[in-house]
Amino acid sequence: MEKVVSRMGQEGNVAAIAVPPEVAVSAESGAAPRLSPREREILTLLGKGQTPKEVAFELKIAHSTVRVLRARALKKMSLGRSGSA
């Protein structure tokens, strides 16, 4: 069964990321894609409901950096685009 992370944005749109079970397996087993520590950190904060702008502010990085790292991580997990999450 997939784990679904969703949140409603300020604009009223809903973003959801469905994480397949094979991706949810720990990285130590080698079954999960190799995410960098920063990619993992960004996905964790987004999964807790923070917006990309909030994540950028908290980590003191550019909003565009958050978007790039999120896209890279989702590509590694073969999830593609995820709306505004």
Per the structure, the complete domain to which residue 8 belongs is given by 3-76
| The pLDDT of residue 32 | 59
Q: For position 54, which CATH number holds?
A: 1.10.10
**pTM score:** 0.58
| The pLDDT of residue 26 | 43
Structure tokens at 31: 């079954």
The tally of domains found in the chain comes to 1
Q: Is the CB of residue 53 less than 8 Å from the CB of residue 63? A: yes
Instruction: For residues 73 and 17, give the distance between their C-alpha atoms in angstroms, rounded to a whole number.
Output: 12
Model confidence at 33, pLDDT cuts 50, 70, 90, reads confident
Average pLDDT of span 18-23: 45
- The secondary structure element, H or E, covering residue 4 is strand 3-8
Structure tokens at 63: 């909003």
Q: Does residue 84 lie in a domain region?
A: no
- The secondary structure element, H or E, covering residue 18 is strand 14-19
| The pLDDT of residue 12 | 47
Q: Does residue 82 lie in a domain region?
A: no
Strand partners, 17: 5
pLDDT digits (tens, 9 = 90+) for 5-17: 444 444 444 455 5
Mean pLDDT rounded to a whole number for the chain: 73
